[in-house]
Structure 1
Amino acid sequence: MTAQHPNHRSTRLERTPDPQLAGAVLDDIDARPGSATSLARTVLGAYVRDLGGWIAIADFTELLALLDIPAPSTRTAITRLKSKGVLHAESRSGRAGYALTEPALAMFARGDPRIFGFRQMAAGDAWRLLSFGIPESERAARHQLRRRLTAIGCGTVSAGLWIYPEYLAAEVAAIVTALELDAYVTSFRATDPVVPGSLRQAAAQWWDLDNLAARHRTFYQRHRDILNEPTERNTFARFTLMLDEWRTLPYIDPGLPNEMLPADWPGPASVHLFAEARQRYLEPSRHRVRTLVEKP
């Protein structure tokens, strides 16, 4: 990451980050879990990749119908995903359909370790501090930077100083570069932070732990009965709805070490629940999708 003095002045006019450049690196964080667009993205990442990255329009519509998404909402979701560069129209064997773009395939590949392999810091693991002084001419990019840092689990020490686990360093660097802000940013690897009061108190100030705990509890309460489901036809819908809600949690949860979390932290319960459900239901759900799209 290129570093420059925070007081560096820019004579450029205010610039809006190029959505095509940013979109290729900064994964879409706008879709609300449970919405047609979010569920379409989840189906693409979990199942259409497994099919080779292409699906007929009729089959895609039928899959989303199993999730109670009506055809008009599916068409709207497809339009949005095309505009974001996730899909492009492609016909095969006389059937109209859509294929995942190369940036979308890379996006889903980046997300796999996060979604399917929850990371948590251990005592003594390194931190990364990000310091920036971004001029007013770049305020649109500055807003996007703050928004994206929050979305991947970074904490706010102060307006221009952010903290996150060292294992998020590559993701943060990609965001900074995509927004063309390298010239205004300096990062530091750090260990053993010294804070007023306790680390637990500091974490509660740097992250919105109350909201994060509520998200974990809601997820667990909504899906805790899934392990009682038989591996049958309805497994696809139940697990996909669970996956769609889960996939945002490992992004906003940075995986803080236990000594920085409240004693009754609900994260481990939801992490364990999803891990068990994934092991039990992901492959049967993929088999259900393959059976549907390969039908005569």
Structure 2
Amino acid sequence: MTAATNPADALASELIRRILDESPLKAASFIVTIYGDVVEPRGGIAWIGNLIETCADVGISETLVRTAVSRLVAAGQLTGEREGRRSYYRLSRSAGSEFAAAARVLFSAPEDSGWQFVHVTGPAVEDAMQALKRAGHARLNDRLAVGPARAVTATVPALVFRAEPPQDPKALQEFTSEYWDLTVHAEAYAVFLAQFGALLSPAASVSFSPSMALTIRLLLVHRFRAVHLHDPRLPSGALPDDWPGKAARQLFARAYRQLSPAADAHVARTFVTASGPLPASTAATDLRLEMLAGEAF
């Protein structure tokens, strides 16, 4: 069914239009989402025609897709291959590692890690501090940062001191509010909940066509990735009692699992490589669904 004849698709199309009006897509970023959600767990290579068709469903033109793919190749994220008259693009080794790391954050259950102080010892102080910031740390002075205990410090030359948080939750929340501005992240989660809560209400999402299910799932991943990967993802005890990140993650998990049977069937029917169609599922896609199962409530 098309959106014109499928009432669920028609409603979704209108809600998607509103979402895109509020937060316009960039072609390169959306193509990264397609690779992360569809292509990477199925081998990392896809026909450019599939990228063009999938992006058209969210209003991104063929010209913008081809330009964005060229830029991703120039940036070392994709490599091109030709088979006859068709062009295929594969994730580079470094991009594959980055995608796998991002997938672990998106699909794994949140880890309530401890705390650490990190004193940078190497000469590239600013590069190290930026890496720590991306891992959720707050800068205290030129070389010292504090944040959740994460493996990023393995790649940063530093002295690491484990810290015991105070037993008083209020004191920990006050400490957090002094060094992290969580307002912007809370607002981003609230927007995500408002947009996708309406799009994926039980009444609206019972009969999406397979192509619409994939479009919605890609937008879901795209928006949640943008919000969640920028969140410092602090331990739960440091967060406000009404923190919207928990509800957003539950919505993401529930919606992703709900949309996946139809979306994956559409992938298997339409996405191809030079050696044949992409599979509907793989061990990697099954693992993602399993990891989300405990949060989809």
1:98-137 mapped onto 2 (5 Å cutoff): 98-121=89-112, 126-132=114-120
**Structure 1 stretches of 4+ moved >6 Å:** none
In structure 1, how many angstroms separate the alpha carbons of the residues matched to 2:208 and 2:52?
23
Match of 1:49 in 2: 40
5 Å-filtered alignment, 1:247-266, equals 247-266=225-244
> Which stretches in structure 1 are left out of the alignment for 5+ residues?
1-31, 177-181
Give me the whole-angstrom Cα distance separating, in 2, the residues matched to 1:236 and 1:263: 34
The alpha-carbon deviation at position 202 of structure 1 amounts to 0.7
Work out whether residues 50 and 270 of structure 2, in 8 Å CA contact, stay in contact via their aligned partners in 1: yes
| Whole-angstrom CA distance in 1 between matches of 2:247 and 2:46 | 35
Name the SS for the 2:86 alignment partner: coil
Equivalent of residue 147 in structure 2, options 160, 164, 185: 164
What does residue 282 of structure 2 align with?
A: none
| Unaligned stretches of 5+ residues in structure 2 | 1-22, 278-297
Shift of 1:49: 2.3
Partner of 2:54: 63
Q: 1:278 is matched with which residue?
A: 256
Does 1 or 2 have the higher relative contact order (CA < 8 Å, sep 6+)?
1
Distance 1:194 1:146 in 2: 28
Q: What aligned pairs does 1:136-147 form with structure 2 within 5 A after superposition? A: 141-147=124-130
Moved more, 65-74 or 247-256: 247-256
Q: Is the 8 A contact 2:114 2:235 kept in 1?
A: no
Aligned to 1:221: 194
CA distance in 2, matches of 1:126, 1:51: 34
Q: Secondary structure at the match of 1:186?
A: strand
* Rounded Cα–Cα distance in structure 1 between residues aligned with 2:128 and 2:261: 37
Contact 1:153 1:251 in 2 (8 A): no
Give the SS at the match of 2:32: helix
Taking a change above 3 Å as real, the CA distance of residues 206 and 54 of structure 1, as seen in their structure-2 partners, is same
Retained in 2: the 8 A contact 1:120–1:256? no
Q: Does 1:151 align with 2:142?
A: no
Aligned to 1:13: none
Identify the match of residue 210 of structure 1 among 183, 194, 210.
183
The 2-side partners of 1:76 and 1:172 are apart by 36
Distance 1:51 1:258 in 2: 33
Could you say what the CA RMSD is over the residues aligned between the two structures, in angstroms? 2.6
Q: Distance in 2 between matches of 1:116 and 1:35?
A: 23
Q: Calculate the TM-score normalised by the size of structure 2.
A: 0.74
In the TM superposition, what is the alpha-carbon distance from 1:289 to its structure 2 partner?
2.4
Given that 2:136 and 2:147 are in contact with CA atoms closer than 8 Å, whether structure 1 keeps it comes out as yes
Change (3 A) 1:172 1:283: farther
Deviation at 1:225, TM superposition (A): 2.1
Identity of aligned residues (%): 27
Amino acid at match of 1:155: A
**What TM-score results when the alignment is normalised by the length of structure 1?**
0.74
Alignment of 1:96 onto 2:69 = no
8 A contact 1:118–1:271 mirrored in 2: no
TM-superposed deviation, 1:74: 0.8
* Residues 276 and 145 of structure 1, relative CA distance in 2, 3 Å threshold: same
Who is 2:69 aligned against? 78
Q: Distance in 1 between matches of 2:194 and 2:44?
A: 33
Q: Is the 8 A contact 2:136 2:148 kept in 1?
A: no
